[in-house]
């Protein structure tokens, strides 16, 4: 009977209610440290609600045919139970198959993409995948080849099942930190053209605070519903229309005084401060 590799949390990160900071990996099989290995990385952007999961899977180049013999397929073409069975099969073959994954919470994605210094989804995906690959290298996996990094469904499907299984579990076991009344557990598929998804978003939108952390605020579908269903917000970082911004170079050649006052410094605009008296 094979000894299954020990699963562990990476880098001491502790999962939270929203799955932020969650990561897991198996102890790399010894054979992957002894000879050339092939590695695949999945950069699937996921849907508009729930976390995003990034994963790598690797095996010795000499055992690649054994991995392909598991008859894996694109996880989107498989049912949840089929994905679970395939992942269990991968773990049973842990003497030559290794994997690692990172979970990015919807809240992390929203704050990254909507912050003052934006951290867009492409950069977030790239850095997360690079971190996973570096983790495998640091563990001694002798990676010599692998498919080009590609979004889920466009990469090599034999490497992707652990990603979708982890996401299935995260969505199924999601703990809402908000005190939601009459919570509907039928979220729909999460795709923008799904009527169930749109109905769920409209039902659980809060006029002031928006959606639960389960939803990615940066998602265009969520933003559209917020604009229609939530309260209007006036942001202080929006400069007043009647204030003059930086002058054009041609303004220095015009005679006469300026018709409009100059806009105050951004520091004062952001804090809603106005001069109390003229100096």
Every domain of the chain and the residues it spans: 7-172
Give every CB contact of residue 253 below 8 A, 6+ residues apart in sequence: none
- pLDDT, tens digit, 9 for 90 and up, residues 19-38: 555 677 788 899 889 888 88
In the chain, % helix, strand, coil (3-state, to 5) comes to: 35, 15, 50
Report the pLDDT value the prediction gives residue 140, as an integer from 0 to 100.
92
Q: State yes or no: pLDDT of 168 exceeds 80.
A: no
Give every CB contact of residue 192 below 8 A, 6+ residues apart in sequence: 48, 198, 219, 220, 221
Residue 25 φ/ψ, nearest 5 degrees: -160, 160
Other Cβ atoms less than 10 A from the Cβ of 205: the count is: 18
pLDDT classification of 204: cutoffs 50, 70, 90: confident
Max mean pLDDT range (8-12, 27-31, 49-53): 27-31
Q: How is domain 7-172 classified at the architecture level of CATH?
A: 2-Layer Sandwich (3.30)
- pLDDT, tens digit, 9 for 90 and up, residues 76-130: 667 778 778 888 888 888 899 898 988 888 888 888 888 878 888 888 888 988 8
* pTM, rounded to two decimals: 0.69
- Distances 215 to 84, 101, 110, 262, 270 between C-alpha atoms, Å: 25, 21, 9, 40, 27
Mean predicted lDDT score pLDDT of the chain: 76
Beta bridge partners of 22: 103
Beta bridge partners of 101: 24, 55
Average pLDDT for 59-72: 83
Q: State yes or no: pLDDT of 135 exceeds 50.
A: yes
- Positive or negative, the CA dihedral 28, 91, 14, 51 is positive
Q: State yes or no: pLDDT of 43 exceeds 70.
A: no
Residue of 14 and 159 predicted with greater confidence:
159
Q: State yes or no: pLDDT of 213 exceeds 80.
A: yes
Helices marked H in 39-144 — which ranges?
Answer: 64-68, 80-92, 106-114, 121-138
Average pLDDT for 244-269: 65
Report the pLDDT value the prediction gives residue 139, as an integer from 0 to 100.
92
């Amino acid at each position: 009977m094979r000894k299954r590799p020990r699963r562990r949390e990476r880098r001491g990160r502790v999962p939270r209610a929203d799955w932020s900071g969650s990561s897991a990996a198996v102890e790399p099989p010894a054979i992957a440290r002894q000879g050339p290995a092939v590695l695949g990385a999945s950069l699937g952007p996921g849907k508009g609600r729930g976390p995003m999961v990034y994963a790598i899977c690797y095996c010795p180049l000499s055992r690649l045919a054994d991995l392909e013999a598991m008859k894996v397929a694109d996880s989107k073409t498989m049912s949840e139970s089929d994905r679970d069975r395939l992942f269990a099969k991968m773990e049973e073959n842990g003497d030559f198959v290794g994997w690692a994954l990172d979970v990015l919470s919807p809240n992390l994605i929203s704050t990254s993409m909507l912050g003052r210094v934006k951290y867009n989804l492409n950069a977030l995906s790239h850095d997360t995948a690079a971190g996973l690959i570096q983790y495998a290298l640091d563990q001694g996996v002798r990676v010599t080849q692998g498919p080009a990094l590609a979004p889920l469904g466009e990469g090599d499907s034999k490497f992707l099942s652990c990603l979708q299984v982890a996401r299935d579990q995260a969505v199924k076991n999601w703990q809402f930190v908000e005190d939601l009344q009459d919570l509907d557990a039928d979220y729909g598929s999460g795709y923008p053209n799904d009527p169930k998804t749109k109905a769920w978003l409209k039902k659980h939108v809060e006029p002031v605070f928006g959606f639960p952390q389960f939803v990615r605020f940066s998602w265009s579908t969520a933003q559209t519903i917020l604009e229609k269903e939530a309260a209007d917000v006036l942001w202080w970082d929006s400069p007043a229309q009647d204030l003059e911004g930086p002058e054009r170079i041609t303004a220095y050649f015009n005679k006469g005084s300026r018709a409009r006052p100059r806009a105050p410094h951004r520091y004062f605009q952001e804090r809603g401060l106005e001069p109390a008296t003229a100096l």
